[in-house]
Amino acid sequence: MPGLFQQIQAGKLWDFHGGIHPPGRKEQTNQKPIAVLPIPDRLYLPLRQHIGVAGQLLVRVGERVLKGQQLTSAENSMAVPVHAPTSGTVLSITPHTSPHPSALPELTLVLEPDGLDEWRQREPLNFLTCDNMTLLSRIQDSGIAGMGGAGFPTHIKAGLTQPVDYLIINAVECEPYISADDLLMQEAATTIVKGIDILCRLLNPKAVLIGIEDDKPIAAAAMMAACSQREHYYVRLVPTKYPSGGEKQLIQLLTNKEVPNGRRPADIGIVMQNVGTAFAIAQAVLDDHPLLSRIVTVAGDTLNQPQNVLALLGTPVSALLDACGFQSQPQQRVIMGGPMMGFTLPDLSVPVVKTTNCILAPTAQELPAASTEMDCIRCSACADACPASLLPQQLLWYSKAKDSDKLQEYNLADCIECGACAYVCPSEIPLVQYYRVAKADIREQQREALKAEQAKARFETRNARLEQEKQERLQRNQQLAAARQQQQLASGANTAVADALARIKAKQAQAAPAEERSKEQILAERELKKQQAREHQQQKAEQQKAQQQATEQHSEPTEQTATTATTNSKAAAVAAAIARAQAKKAAQAAEQDATEQQLTPAPNTEKSPQAEVSTEADPRKAAIAAAIARAKAKQQAQTEHETGAVPATASTANKPAAGSDVVTAAEDPRKAAVAAALARAKAKKQANAEATEQTAASTPVTPEPDAVVTEDPRKAAITAALARAKARKQADSENS
């Protein structure tokens, strides 16, 4: 039994599960040469036209660019640049409808061609003499990505370091209508083989297998002729069956190898490149011609001239259709890609990109729109047609249920979205659409899970770092403490802590008796202060008594007043306080009374019975009036004494002199008593002032009773109460 390689060399082919045989309809275009379109008015160049990331912009709006000039950089390994397909001016860089089933806007550079088609400087390479890195850089810098439809960066697949057994060139253009690769092989087989040479230089495979469907005899012949001088280049014609051009399916067809789930062909020693990609590599390396254009099949019964065209990247679909005599119909659909895997365009301004291989403008009869979806009848036709040996029916259920776990369990990831299942489904269920949505959901969930995992890893790393720092700190502190202890032990001294504790204890021992002593001192001081207060009060009482006696000696009180002043000092004190409090209020009335008495003739100065009754009823007013009268009499007496008119004697005062206040006061014993009380109060004030001066340092200063009474009646009442208390004390002391 020959080995696998011998079987391959012998031209043996294998088969894959499932597959369908839709009508090819390639005759519309595969008999005509490739047409070169005129340069359109505008080119719309999305900055990302492949699987990966977009490069950084290298040009600005308004800048003129040359043909082949790089518009974006390729700093990231997953980035490939885009180039100016012709010379012209950058009009704008703005979001534009993307050539994607989602039709989401993508950042797009709008170029206005100047018609000169002026090239930048070009530097072809000799791939036989330059190193692999130079070749890979050239491939990346030329913006080459898989042109079979996937758009994977070519330099990554071409730069594999692991051993490669087979390099497979995919020329199986299995989808109906599409004949772009067919025409490319017919017209540029030699260049394609040069591209394969470059790939062999990079990958060094054991054999090159070029797979071509058996419905492309001209292309197959051209390729065989071009490869005739190459050892280990094998052109293999595979049966026409959809989807033979699938990566895993073609590998199985040519090598009988199956790519395990979740693995890549490189894992089993196989690298696959599209025939158009090989052509682009040859152009890039040998001519320094970056990827600026591609062959696009423009087909459909609405076109007068369906054909393959060489279109500049960025050419709007409308320009392609116009060049092929497009006759739009009602409910017209325009599909990018083939009828099996393509998608309907939202509008015709969508540009041609690196992965665009077909624009299909069919009539309604030619390619009817999807009819109403019906329920699954569990016929299993989809499972029979699936080239990936999946269970499309189960995948449909779990897609509708959004059960990601089950979808992954049933290997949704292996679905190549070929559409064979939907093609055979009698219920017209758009199965592929369900799978695309489910795949997008799973990708999003995986992205979220990855982000959560990264966040968790960051959190755990941080915790570990903090814990390590804590342990290091602890260890450091322990080492320092041990070093200190050793040092202290070495010097024979006690520890600082023990010293501090001893000092604290000693302080506490001293503090206790001190506190006891201070309490005793405080009690003694209080007793001393109390004694001083008692002495002070006694002294004040004696002074008041002396003043009272002096006042009594100087005045001539009536018998009643003297008795009252002597025996009832309490009443006197009250009267004094009240008199002080009401002095201000009664001053005006007293003045008025006094004025009236002065102005009124003698008989009238004597108080009427009514007035006497009134005075008796209000002793305060009487006291105030008496005080005022006494003050005036005193003033008058002084004046007369100074002028010598009347001697200020008691005998004079006893004379009944009409119009004299003194006489009036002398005749009224109540007034005289009040005057005596006022005099005592004044004397008391004076004595207080003297006492205050003497004991200012030790005794707190009390406010003047008059001021207090004037300002606040409550304080006046308190002061009066104090006065009463003092008078009581004084009376007690006198009694004792």
Q: Which residue among 79, 382, 675, 677 contacts ligand SF4 (CB under 6 A)?
A: 382
Residue partners of 56: CB distance under 8 A and separation at least 6: 72, 73, 75
Q: Which residue among 144, 319, 425, 586 contacts ligand SF4 (CB under 6 A)?
A: 425
Stretch that binds ligand SF4, among 217-225, 421-429, 520-528, 727-735 (CB under 6 A): 421-429
CA distance 206 to 244: 23
Name the DSSP class of 61: T
- Does 675 bind ligand SF4 (CB under 6 A)? Our answer is no
Stretch that binds ligand SF4, among 184-192, 275-283, 292-300, 392-400 (CB under 6 A): 392-400
> Shortest gap between Cβ of 351 and ligand SF4 (angstroms)?
27
> Shortest gap between Cβ of 23 and ligand SF4 (angstroms)?
18
Distance (Å) of CA 712 to CA 257, 579, 587, 659: 115, 15, 18, 38
Q: Which CB sits closer to ligand SF4, 113 or 419?
A: 419
**What binding mask, one character per residue, do residues 395-414 give for ligand SF4 by CB under 6 A, x or -?**
-x------------------
- Does 43 bind ligand SF4 (CB under 6 A)? Our answer is no
Q: Which CB sits closer to ligand SF4, 335 or 663?
A: 335
CA distance 269 to 264: 9
Residue partners of 94: CB distance under 8 A and separation at least 6: 107, 108, 110
Spatial contact of 355 and 295, defined as CB atoms under 8 Å apart: no
Q: Which residue among 417, 661, 668, 706 contacts ligand SF4 (CB under 6 A)?
A: 417
- Does 569 bind ligand SF4 (CB under 6 A)? Our answer is no
- Does 380 bind ligand SF4 (CB under 6 A)? Our answer is yes
- Does 174 bind ligand SF4 (CB under 6 A)? Our answer is no
Among all chains, which residue has been given the structure tokens 């692991």? 162
Beta-bridged to residue 722, according to DSSP, are none
* Number of alpha carbons in the 13 Å side-chain half-sphere of residue 460: 6
Strand order across the 64-65 sheet: 43-46, 105-113, 88-97, 64-65
**What binding mask, one character per residue, do residues 290-309 give for ligand SF4 by CB under 6 A, x or -?**
--------------------
Using DSSP's 3-state secondary structure scheme, residue 377 falls into coil
Q: Which CB sits closer to ligand SF4, 5 or 423?
A: 423
CA distance 273 to 107: 28
111 sits in which H/E element: strand 105-113
CA distance 630 to 652: 15
> Shortest gap between Cβ of 424 and ligand SF4 (angstroms)?
6
Stretch that binds ligand SF4, among 357-365, 423-431, 478-486, 519-527 (CB under 6 A): 423-431
Q: Which residue among 392, 581, 675, 706 contacts ligand SF4 (CB under 6 A)?
A: 392
> Shortest gap between Cβ of 412 and ligand SF4 (angstroms)?
8
Strand order across the 358-360 sheet: 35-36, 307-312, 293-299, 358-360, 335-336, 343-344
Structure tokens at 493: 């001294």
Q: Which CB sits closer to ligand SF4, 17 or 536?
A: 17
**What binding mask, one character per residue, do residues 427-446 give for ligand SF4 by CB under 6 A, x or -?**
x-x-xx--------------
> Shortest gap between Cβ of 462 and ligand SF4 (angstroms)?
44
- Does 597 bind ligand SF4 (CB under 6 A)? Our answer is no
Size of the site for ligand SF4 (CB under 6 A): 29
Q: Which residue among 61, 377, 493, 546 contacts ligand SF4 (CB under 6 A)?
A: 377
How far is C-alpha 348 from the geometric centre of its chain's CA atoms? 42
> Shortest gap between Cβ of 170 and ligand SF4 (angstroms)?
17
Residue 459 dihedral angles phi and psi, to the nearest 5°: -65, -45
Q: Which CB sits closer to ligand SF4, 178 or 388?
A: 388
> Shortest gap between Cβ of 419 and ligand SF4 (angstroms)?
5
Spatial contact of 88 and 64, defined as CB atoms under 8 Å apart: yes
CA distance 273 to 278: 7
Structure tokens at 287: 């001519």
- Does 175 bind ligand SF4 (CB under 6 A)? Our answer is no
Spatial contact of 107 and 94, defined as CB atoms under 8 Å apart: yes
Number of H helices, E strands in the chain: 24, 14
Stretch that binds ligand SF4, among 377-385, 578-586, 600-608, 714-722 (CB under 6 A): 377-385
Q: Which residue among 419, 597, 662, 664 contacts ligand SF4 (CB under 6 A)?
A: 419
Structure tokens at 410: 């049933």
Beta-bridged to residue 214, according to DSSP, are none
Stretch that binds ligand SF4, among 50-58, 322-330, 378-386, 660-668 (CB under 6 A): 378-386
> Shortest gap between Cβ of 320 and ligand SF4 (angstroms)?
28
End-to-end Cα, the chain, rounded Å = 151
Burial of 42 (0-12, 13-18, 19+ CB in 10 A): middle
Q: Which CB sits closer to ligand SF4, 377 or 457?
A: 377
- Does 270 bind ligand SF4 (CB under 6 A)? Our answer is no
- Does 210 bind ligand SF4 (CB under 6 A)? Our answer is no
Residue among 595, 594, 651, 649 at smallest CA distance from 622? 594
- Does 416 bind ligand SF4 (CB under 6 A)? Our answer is yes
Please give the residue ranges that form the binding site for ligand SF4 (CB under 6 A): 376-382, 385-388, 390, 392-393, 396, 415-421, 424-427, 429, 431-432
